[in-house]
Structure formats: structure tokens, C-alpha cells
Amino acid sequence: MKIRTLLRAALIPAVLAAAAVAMPSALAAPPSSEPPTMSPAIVGGSQATETYSFMGSMQVNGRHGCGASLVASQWMVTAAHCVTGQGGQVMPASQFRIRIGSTNTGSGGTLASVSQVVRHPSYSGQVGPGDIALFKLSSAVSQAPISINDSSPAAQASTRLIGFGQTCPQQGCGGSSTTLKQLDTRINPDNMCSAGFNASTELCVYSTTSQTACYGDSGGPAVVKVGSAWRLVGATSRAGANGSTCGTGNATIYTDVTAYRSWVNQYVGGSGPGPDPEPPTCSAAAWSPYTQYPPQSSVSYQGYEWRNSTWSYRETPGYSYNWQRVGTCARR
């Protein structure tokens, strides 16, 4: 299995496997017939030095599958692949429980149910942009949320990864952990990531096979320190290079949550559904994965205008030869 398919398959546990491992390129927890009995999460790093009130363990039938971050009293950010079933559909909200504000997946904090799952409309189930989703909790929780950072971190900026994922880098070497771990690392230059990396909406995070996010960490946070407060910048998406071992190529790809800030705020602020609005200088309508486009259609996507040569459906501009870039819009 290529590592581009690694992180998605690896971050969803066995209980989710039948329903959610449609695109095994992410870091969902791997199948396991028994509850894990291993050291803390993430490969390398250290025991969590804080409770991290915003940290969530997304669970199905009591088993950890992915991480999530509390960004408002009733809303959490995670990865889109964590909520996607085998057929590409959004999984029912009733399947999920999230333990929030605890360093243990089995106790402490608040165990919340989910009333709504919102997947970003640009997520196509393939490697690439849009790997972000929201959980609306059935009721508000008392834990303190984390703010989304004002801007994307620059290359070489320090960042901290937090998660309950497995502690060994090889696929299938162990299940998810019951205790929380953290890893201090940095942001890579964009050219260190491959696997369909999109610099405008994703972060390339430095990793090694002994210091990395891994299977079970998908959707979990990458944070930066601003003054005395943590700010959210990323959600674990997939490995940064081909291979089935976490940290291969010295890179892990995170969704840049700051790039989707306006989309998140549409829900958290209560203004309703919809994708990020395109810049006003984009004359074409925003691309949608749910629209069939006849030849010579024009769409706007990620700050550019695109035109297709043949019929197109669920083909992401910039990731399909069918779409050719024909113009530039103002970048978000």
C-alpha cells in the first residue's frame, strides 16, 4: 500500500473499517480485534504535558478512530476521511461519540454525542484538498475550545502534534493508544511533500519514522503557541510521501485549517452551509464535486479559473488533466 493511501486507512479503527475506510490514505486507526494495550500515542514525542481541553477522541462503539479539535462549545474540526464511509457517503452522526478534554480515551473529560456531521464540499474521497469536516455536538460542553490561528505558519515555524495514534511507524504494528502523547516539530518547506500536496490548503510537517504522527492520529491537531495560548493550524490528513511506514520522506501532510477558516465560521457562527466564497475577482462559479460539467465549462477553484475539455464529474481541478488552468483569481 502506498503511504498516500496510508494515513486514511490507518487512522480509522476496525469498528470503522467496514463503514469508513473507503480511501486508505489517511491516518485513521488500523483494524484491531482487541482493545490496544500499548504506550502513548504518536511515534516518538512524549507524554502529554497538558490536558488540552480542546482535544477530542472520536469513537465508534467505544473504540478510538480519529482525533478532533473543539473550536466552539458545540463544534469540532476533524478530517473528512474520518467521516466518510466505504461508498463515499458521510457516515451518520449517531455512530459517533467524542471524548473531549481528557488524556485518556476511556475516562475523564466529557463524552459527547454528535447531532450533525458536515464534510467540506470540495472533498472528493481522493488524495488532495478538502480533507476537513465538522462535528456538531448534541449539546454544548464545558471544555475550553481552541481558536483557529489568524494565518498559516511559515516554513521552519515550530508546531506541536497531539494524538492517540499508534506508537510504532509500520502499518499494523499496533493499535491506537489509550493515553495522549505530543510531539514538537516544525513546518517543512512545501517542496518536501508529495502525495498530491496542495500548498494553498495544506501544511507539510517535518516527520521521521521515529518522530511522527501515525495511524490513529487523523483529524487531530497541529497547534502553535501564540503568547500563552495554543492556536489551531492543522488537522492530520496523510503521509507526505509514498510508503506504508509513517514518517517516510520526512513529511506528514496536515490540512491547513486556517485556509478553511471562513468555511468553519459559517457553521460555528451559525450563518448556515456553503463552501468558502471565491474571491470577488473570480468570474466563474465555484467548482462543486456534485456537478456534472459539460466540455468547455469554466469554474473557479483555489484562487484560479479552470476549463475542462471533456465531460467531468468529481474530478478536482488541479488534480485531473481534464481541467486546464486558464486564469488567476485573487488568492485567499
Q: Look at the chain and count its residues.
A: 332
List, by residue number, the catalytic residues.
Answer: 81, 131, 218
C-alpha angle 170-319-27 in degrees, rounded to nearest 5: 25
Contacts with 69 (C-beta within 8 Å, 6 or more apart), sequence order: 54, 55, 56, 76, 77, 78, 146, 220, 221, 232, 235, 257
Q: Are strands 304-308 and 298-301 parallel, antiparallel or unpaired?
A: antiparallel
Q: Which three cell numbers, joined as nine digits, stand for 105?
A: 480515551
Runs of H (alpha helix) within the chain = 6-10, 14-20, 261-268
Cα-to-chain-centroid distance, residue 84 = 12
Q: With contact defined as beta carbons under 8 Å apart, do 54 and 143 qualify?
A: yes
| Placement of cell 515550530 in the chain | 158
